[in-house]
Structure 1
C-alpha cells in the first residue's frame, strides 16, 4: 500500500468509526478529492461530514476549532503546508489555548493536515517545511507522517491527546510504499518510534522525521557499502512534545538530527537540547544538526536539489561527526 492510500484509508476509518468526525478544507470534495487525492471518496461516502471551504486557511481552521470546541472531531486540510502561516492566529491564539484557559482542561479533538516539503518542483511558496514555527506552543502537538507508522494508529494517538495537533505530511512520501526499505536494513517499532538499522552497535545514530527517512536510508546504505560506517535511524511519529525516554535505549556516542527546514530555532535544535540534558556524558561530542540551505526553494529541479538537505548532506555530516 502506498502512503497516500494508507492515509486515505485512515480518514475513511475515522469517519466510519466516529459519527462526530468532520473533514474540511479546500477542494476536498469528490470527484477532485483534494490536491493530492487524500480525501478521495470521502464526500461520496459521508455526505454532510466532508465540507468544502472557501480559500481561507484562517476560516477553515477556525471552523475546525469551533467543531472541536463543541465536542466534535475535526480534521482540517491545508492544501499546501506553507499556507498554515495564514492560520497561525486560529491555531496558536484560539485552538491551543482553548484546551486550558477556561478553568479546567477542555479536550479538543482537532488535527490540521499540512502537506509539506520540497522535492516536487513547486517553488518557493509551496515547498517549505514549517514545523519549527510551531515548536513549544503549549496545548499544541506536532506529528509527522512516516512510511513506518500506520496513519490510522497515528490519528488515534493524536485524537487521544485531546489537544490540537498539526500533522505534517511530506509530499514526496505520498507515492512511496509503506514499510519499504532496502533488504539490508531491519525495521523495528518501539511505541511511536521506528528504529531502522543493520546491527546492535552502530557508529552513528541519526534522528529524522518521516519526510527525511528515505534520504537518510540512502545515505546509510552508501556509508556502509563505501566506508563500512554503520548507522541507525530513529523516526519519531510525534515531533513535539518529544518522547526522549523512548530514544535513550537506542542512542550511541555519536548522534545527528536531520531535517528539511532551514537552520535557526528548529525542531532539531530542540532535540539536541533535550538529549544534551539527558545523555551529555555518553556523547562523544555535541549532537550535530543537518538542515537545508538558508535560501528560498527554487522551482528548477537541479537548483532545488542544491538547496534541500538530501542524501549527500547527511552522508557528509555523518563522516564529519565521526572525525570529531
Structure 2
C-alpha cells in the first residue's frame, strides 16, 4: 500500500468509527477528492460530513475549530502547507488557546493536514516546510507523516491528545510504499519512534522526520559501503512536544538532526537543546543541524535539488562531524 492510500484508508476509518467526525477543505469532494487524492471516496460514503469550502484557509480552519469546540472531531485540509500561514490566527490565537482559556481544560479534537515540502517542482510558494513556525505554541502539537508509521495509529494518537494538531505530510511520500526501506537497515518500532540501523553500535545517530527518512537512509547506505561508517536513524512521529525521553536510549557519540526547513528557529534546534540538557556527557560534540539552503525553492528540478537538503547534504554532514 502506498502512503497516500494508507492515509486515505485512515480517514475512511476515522469517519466510519466516529459519527461526529468531519473533513473540511478546498476541493475535498468527489470526484476530485483533494489535490493529492487523499480524500477520495469520502464524500460519497459520508455525505454531509465532508465539507467543501471556498478558498479561505482562515475560514475553513475557523469552522473546523468551531466544530471541535462543540464536541465534534474535525480534520481540516490545507491544500498546500505553505498556505497554513493564512490560518495562523485561527490555529494559534483561537484553536490552541481554546483548550485551556475557559477556566478548565476543554478537549479539542482537531487535526490540520498540511501537504508540505519540495521535490516536485511546485516552486517557491508551494514547496515550503513550515513546521518551525509553529514550534513552542502552548496547546498545539506537531506531527509529521512517515512511511514507517501507520496513519490510522497516528490520527488516533493526535485525537487522544485532545488539542489541535498540525499534521505535516511531505508530498514526496505520497507515492512511496508503506514501510519501504533499504534491506541493509531494517526498521523497528519503539512506541512512536521508528529506528533503522545496520548494527547496534553506530558511528553516528541521525534524527529526522518522516519526509527526510529516505534521504537519510540513502546517505547511510553510501556511508556504509564507501566509508564503512555505520549510522542509526531515528524517526519520531510527533515532532512537538518532542518525546525526548524516547530518544535517549538510542543517542550517543555524534548526533545529527536533518530537516528540510531553512536554518533558524527550527525543530532541529529544539531537539539539540533538549538533548544537550540531558546527554551532553555522552556526546562527542554539539548536535549538528542539517537544513536546506537559505533560499526560496526554485521550480526547475536541477536548481531545486541544489537548494533542498538531500542525501548528499546528510552524507557531507556525517563525514564532517566524524572528522571534527
The TM-score range, normalised by the shorter chain, is: over 0.9
Deviation at 1:183, TM superposition (A): 1.0
| 1:19 correspondence with 2:24 | no
Aligned to 2:57: 57
1:202–1:252 CA contact under 8 A, matched in 2: no
Structure-2-length-normalised TM-score: 1.00
CA displacement at 1:185 relative to structure 2: 1.1
The CA distance in 1 between the partners of 2:184 and 2:246, in whole Å, is 24
Alignment length (residue pairs):
324
Residue 200 of structure 1 and its aligned partner are, at CA, apart by 0.5
Written as runs of structure 1 = structure 2, the 5 A alignment for 1:130-141 is: 130-141=130-141
Q: Which residue of 1 aligns with 2:205?
A: 205
Once the two structures are superposed, the pairs formed by residues 208-247 of structure 1 within 5 Å of their partners are 208-247=208-247
Q: Does 1:173 align with 2:173?
A: yes
Does 2:157 align with 1:157? yes
> How much does 1:251 deviate?
1.0
The CA deviation string for residues 252-308 of structure 1, in whole angstroms up to 9 with x for no partner, is: 211000000000000000000000000001100000000000000000000000000
Measure, in 1, the Cα distance between the counterparts of 2:146 and 2:323. 31
1:54-89 deviation digits (Å, cap 9, x = unpaired): 000000000000000000000000000000000000
- What SS does structure 2 have at the residue aligned with 1:85? helix
Q: What pairs with 1:32-43 in structure 2 (closer than 5 Å)?
A: 32-43=32-43
* Alignment match, 1:276: 276
Matches within 5 A, 1:248-263: 248-263=248-263
Matched-pair contact (CA < 8 Å) for 2:27–2:34:
yes
Q: How does 1:297-308 map to 2 (within 5 A)?
A: 297-308=297-308
How many angstroms apart in 1 are the aligned matches of 2:196 and 2:278? 22
Q: Partners in 2 of 1:277 and 1:269 — Cα distance?
A: 12
Kept after mapping to 2: 8 A contact 1:203/1:252: no
Query: 2:112 and 2:235 mapped to 1: Cα distance?
Result: 21
Q: Distance in 2 between matches of 1:186 and 1:252?
A: 20
In the alignment, what sits opposite 1:185? 185
Instruction: Provide the C-alpha distance between the structure 1 equivalents of 2:29 and 2:281, rounded to a whole number of angstroms.
Output: 54
* Distance in 2 separating the partners of 1:260 and 1:291: 5
In 2: Cα distance, 1:251 partner to 1:62 partner: 40
1:123 aligned partner: 123
**In structure 1, how many angstroms separate the alpha carbons of the residues matched to 2:311 and 2:252?**
21
Structure 2 distance, partners of 1:316, 1:243, is 28
Contact 1:95 1:164 in 2 (8 A): yes
Query: Following TM superposition, by how much is the alpha carbon of 1:182 offset from its aligned partner in structure 2, in angstroms?
Result: 1.3
SS of match in other structure, 2:273: helix
Number of the residue aligned with 1:114: 114
**RMSD of aligned residue pairs (Cα, Å):** 0.3
Contact 1:77-1:112 at 8 Å conserved across structures? yes
Using the alignment, how far apart are the partners of 1:248 and 1:196 within structure 2? 15
Q: Distance in 2 between matches of 1:13 and 1:41?
A: 12
Deviation sequence 1:176-198 (CA, Å, 0-9, x none):
00011111111110100000010
Cα distance per residue 1:91-119 (max 9 Å; x no partner)? 00000000000000000000000000000
SS at match of 2:112: strand
Could you list the structure 1 runs, at least 4 aligned residues long, displaced by more than 2 angstroms after superposition. none
Aligned to 1:145: 145
CA contact (8 A) 2:77 2:114 kept: yes
